[in-house]
A and B are shown apart, each in its own frame.
Chain A
């Protein structure tokens, strides 16, 4: 993906790079290059082919593809790479129809622009929701096919033969009759000048003819990422750039007043200037370390204007997560209905065997390893170049334009690969450093790079929501669930970010409580909206990250109350659902047969297994976890997880993503909890906010079921079934019902 072959340092440093070909917008706009230390390329993302106006997103071939004389293929991806393997998947999909080996691709994230809004409404283009491949699969295949058609047309005139006599082999057009071959690289210049054919004029390959889709194609980025050559936003450097560090107000809503030692700090080594920002102070310096030391030395008098009654969130001085949890648990009301079937209320009223419990999810940090940063540079022509980690270039462009007070067309958004994201890099009020970078760059009249230290990041990272969920269910005489009533007190991430609608349930607050396939005849699932003082965000697998835990753990509680084995209960509730019964059986077989335990393991520990399912983001998963207790704490030994994503593009990437999601699910279940006291988060770094360590990582065994159903997501679906599989095993092993996470806050003896 990252290529330095043609990027001489001098090229990059000059405002108009010399290596940009006639259609060289590809190189210029993506803002990602490797190895190079200086990035000052900044051509606007000019549409490549003005003569073909009004083309649908994802069809303007030259906006996506540049085939070089050496037959390498630069491809501008609508979706950003943050570890989920999307650049490789895109190369497989486009390469399949283009007839080009994915290994020949150099992939970068595309700039902001209409051409790249390939998902259609309402998203246009975001990297999230595990939607990249499934939302664009056909569009991107067609793009590859259109490019191939253009190459064939160029070859027909070059070789002076009818197009019908031509065929392709990977990377070249072949004229069998005369034995002549022309490489794509030779044809590209001519081909890309041709008008793009009617998208309906090309036929896509049949699945059985696929050469790369469905195969474990090697990732394009592993070598650069194993040798330090991959460039992230935090690594970007432009000529004349200064560095900035910030100190945020300890609570949201506070404003910086007098700085007692401003003059002293201004005199510190390397300090350029001291600035007051919205809810923060900043120091600009020649080096980031000097900026950080200086900004931390600033003695700021923060003033507390109290809640302003605006949309801006205000964090009161007495806020604590413990008290907020209590409030959620006791919030009165029955909530707005998100899903209803039968008549749960009257069944519950008449029932004899009712099970009732309150379950909790906790606030979580994204804790992606790359701290947020932004480089902002105002250019002489009135444009702004900005480099920042982001999952939605057009949304950022619009917002940046507003903040900078210039037209969106003058904002060149560069979106380098992401050092992890998990939902962190959407537009969140108060949680992105770009407004600071823009203001500082303008104030100092030079490009500025802002980096948030880990401590400043954990102070402004928006949270995965907390929920208190009141569960009630009735069991019939056979112990089968008859009615289920769930009331979740929670603010969903979508309403938190885009605004709450009092007439609507936020689906991302309840997904995973809703949409379960189990045949429980009477159900009422509802949400009570409780606004947070903290900012709220999407987190890998969004609502499902907590709700499948809450639901599946309660389901085990019901199984135990009804004296039915939890696997058996799920099998019965899925009777007639071929797809999910198959999946459940698949994970059982993968684990060597259902063995709930407790049993004695070879190493002398007593162990148990738990099982859970989830259906997030269009895919379905089933997981089994094996646990034991060591010194009062839970050890997760193995996770078996099967996924049915309908149809697949790269089984190796699926395996890696299940491992990754299992790690994050285990981390959440065992360790993670963002605690606020007196309005402030208690952990500001990984020392007090532990994330899963290598020695805590379970073995992960992955099963893939390709049912042939509609394609689902890959990056997130592996997570939600893991926490409940773990906690169900722990509840069974210890006899102590687990209704909240993380397990590190509980002690067990077994």
Chain B
């Protein structure tokens, strides 16, 4: 349960669903929640007020108003909330704010400023990938992360990296788009 002190500051919480591992040291600092934290998102520094346990997703969406990153499950199941932290795809719904202070965060809003991200978007348009589109911010982030790490993934590597869910079933279009990009890299 929640324990509060007189000022209403939270000391410790557990929920029925412990969602995420808290990075203890950083969190300790962050618990002094009046202490604003600095976040670097899309090459801009933001001072944020949320406490350190808040999932990055909700800081991005509610505090910074960047709503391109989506909420689907809150449980690291679907990948709709994927962002890049230092270039690596990360499910922001289970990523405590305190754990990414000092990291470089990229959200879908800045994806076209990334050279690889821009090519991913073009491939998505060429292959007419999205249907409802709700999962696609996350899919584009996951594909960008994969191609940053491995410019020429084979089918197994694509399958291993692209695990985000899509209820509209755009999976075949997604892998076709990535195969195209892998081919592009090969030639170039």
Contact = CB atoms under 8 A, between A and B. Distances in A.
Nearest to A38: B65
Given A369-B70, A694-B162, A697-B171, A237 B33 contact: no
Nearest to B137: A228
Interface stretch (A43-51, A94-102, A652-660): A652-660
A501 interface: no
Interface in B132-152: 132-137, 140
Interface stretch (B22-30, B107-115, B179-187): B107-115
Contacts, number: 196
A235 B80 CA distance: 14
A235 B71 CA distance: 10
Pick from A221, A369, A422, A652 the residue with the most CB of B within 10 Å: A369
B35 interface: no
B168 A694 contact: no
A694 B68 contact: no
B19 to A, nearest CB: 10
Contacts of B15: 293, 296-297
B170 interface: yes
A697 B77 contact: no
B115 to A, nearest CB: 15
A232 B134 contact: yes
B87 interface: no
B132 A454 contact: no
B171 A454 contact: no
Contact of A686 (B73, B130, B134, B172): B73
Nearest to A367: B167
Contact of B132 (A243, A261, A368): A368
Contacts of B70: 232, 234, 369-370, 419
A194 B10 CA distance: 65
A663 interface: yes
A469 B37 CA distance: 60
B71 A451 contact: yes
B95 to A, nearest CB: 13
A219 B130 CA distance: 9
A83 B33 contact: no
Contacts of A686: 73, 75, 77-78, 165
A693 B133 contact: no
A225 B171 contact: no
A84 B134 contact: no
A226 B68 contact: no
B88 interface: no
Interface in B54-112: 54-55, 58, 61-63, 65-75, 77-78, 80, 107-109, 111-112
Contacts of B140: 226-227
B153 to A, nearest CB: 14
B167 A368 contact: yes
Interface in A399-434: 417-422
A174 interface: no
Interface in A427-479: 451, 453-454
B169 A662 contact: yes
Contacts of A453: 74
A289 B58 CA distance: 6
A697 B68 contact: no
Contacts of B128: 218-219, 222, 652, 656
Pick from B69, B109, B159, B170 the residue with the most CB of A within 10 Å: B170
B73 A685 contact: yes
Contact of B68 (A84, A227, A289, A420): A227
Contact of A287 (B1, B63, B124, B135): B63
29 contacts: A37-B67, A223-B121, A226-B129, A226-B130, A226-B133, A227-B108, A228-B67, A235-B61, A237-B65, A261-B2, A289-B50, A368-B132, A368-B167, A369-B132, A370-B72, A371-B71, A419-B70, A454-B72, A652-B128, A656-B170, A659-B170, A660-B168, A661-B169, A663-B171, A693-B163, A694-B159, A694-B164, A694-B174, A697-B171
Interface of A: 37, 82-85, 218-219, 221-232, 234-235, 237, 243, 261, 264-265, 267-269, 287-289, 293, 296-297, 367-371, 417-422, 451, 453-454, 652, 656, 659-664, 667, 685-687, 691-695, 697, 699-700
